């Protein structure tokens, strides 16, 4: 009887040992909670070739309270100094390529949606859509208050220092009107300005500037620009392409034939601003 009891005890003990070993093996094979929750890969938010460039979408109110959508293109944490305004029927998407190139040149900039426009490069004009939803007028002159508000917004972002304003087509005319005598504007770049603003004669308002001005257009628009009789006491740069060219700031797009010539002229203007105005503390 004692032999049977001892034998049974050994069998039970052996069985328990086997269960413990098996259990330990299972626990060893099972991953910890940290391993279970560990992501398979980490998404890199920066572009390897452009590690210091960030694009941030922002909104701010126009003069009448309508919210303006904009893209802030910031490089190396530098304050934005260039305001980019689009042409008729377009959006802030007009500057998707141009803004990044300006970033690589060391400039941070702000591209806005004015209330007069639609869509380009896959970017819908959100300001125009809001204006439409509210039943607001979206004519060219109605966008003047959007550009004025954007200048105020950018001026504050730039530490209350004057900024460069860039216009394209109808906004090329608006920035010339708005920038004249504006202490928050240090220079103006106008791509294909003309008599686009109903009720306003551009040629009667284009004299007496105190800030540097850069103007260009397509070849067929050269006389149109000359007819504006733009004059400034500082510096006036009128780039006249010897080739066909194109209307508006699309002249700077890589798909535009001769874009490198437009860029060369524009860069000379930008360098002039940096080397002269900034040295005077403006």
Angle between helices 144-157 and 170-179 (to 10 degrees): 60
Are 251 and 229 contacting, i.e. CB atoms less than 8 angstroms apart? no
> Taking the complete model, does pTM exceed 0.75, yes or no?
yes
Q: Torsion angle of alpha carbons 244, 180, 228, 256, nearest 10°?
A: 10
Closest by CA position to 112, among listed 98, 130, 125: 125
- Measure CA 240 to chain center: 27
Q: What is the pLDDT along the chain (282 residues), one digit of tens a residue?
A: 444 444 444 444 444 444 434 344 444 343 333 333 333 322 223 333 567 999 999 999 999 999 999 999 999 989 999 999 999 999 999 999 999 999 999 999 999 999 999 999 999 999 999 999 999 999 999 999 999 999 999 999 999 999 999 999 999 999 999 999 999 999 999 999 999 999 999 999 999 999 999 999 999 999 999 999 999 999 999 999 999 999 999 999 999 999 999 999 999 999 999 886 555 555
Identify which of 144, 120, 134, 149 has the alpha carbon closest to the alpha carbon of residue 59: 149
What's the rounded Cα separation, in Å, for the pair 270 and 262?
12
Helix (H, G, I), strand (E, B) or coil at 72: strand
The Cα-based distances of 218 to 97, 153, 212, 255 in angstroms read 19, 31, 21, 15
């Amino acid at each position: 009887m004692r032999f049977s009891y001892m034998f049974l005890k050994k069998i039970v003990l052996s069985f328990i040992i086997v269960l413990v070993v098996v259990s330990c093996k299972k626990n060893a094979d099972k991953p910890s909670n940290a391993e279970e929750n560990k992501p398979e890969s980490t998404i890199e938010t920066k572009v390897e070739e452009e590690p210091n460039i960030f694009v941030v979408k922002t909104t701010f109110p126009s003069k009448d309270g309508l919210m303006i959508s904009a893209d802030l293109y910031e490089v190396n944490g530098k304050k934005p100094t260039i305001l980019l305004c689009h042409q008729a029927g377009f959006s802030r998407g007009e500057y998707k390529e141009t803004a990044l190139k300006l970033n690589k040149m060391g400039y941070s900039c702000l591209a806005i949606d004015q209330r007069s426009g639609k869509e380009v490069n896959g970017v819908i004009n959100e300001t125009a859509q809001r204006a439409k939803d509210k039943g607001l007028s979206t004519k060219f002159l109605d966008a003047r208050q959007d550009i004025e508000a954007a200048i105020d917004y950018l001026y504050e972002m730039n530490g209350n220092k004057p900024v460069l304003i860039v216009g394209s087509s109808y906004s090329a005319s608006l920035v010339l009107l708005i920038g004249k005598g504006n202490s928050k504007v240090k220079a103006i770049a106008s791509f294909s300005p003309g008599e686009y603003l109903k009720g306003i004669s551009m040629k009667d308002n284009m004299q007496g500037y105190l800030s540097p001005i850069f103007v260009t257009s397509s070849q067929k628009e050269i006389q149109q620009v000359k007819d504006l009789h733009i004059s400034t006491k500082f510096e006036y740069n009128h780039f006249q392409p010897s080739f066909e060219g194109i209307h508006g700031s699309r002249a700077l797009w890589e798909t535009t034939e001769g874009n490198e010539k437009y860029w060369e002229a524009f860069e000379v203007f930008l360098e002039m601003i940096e080397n002269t105005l900034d040295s005077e503390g403006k």
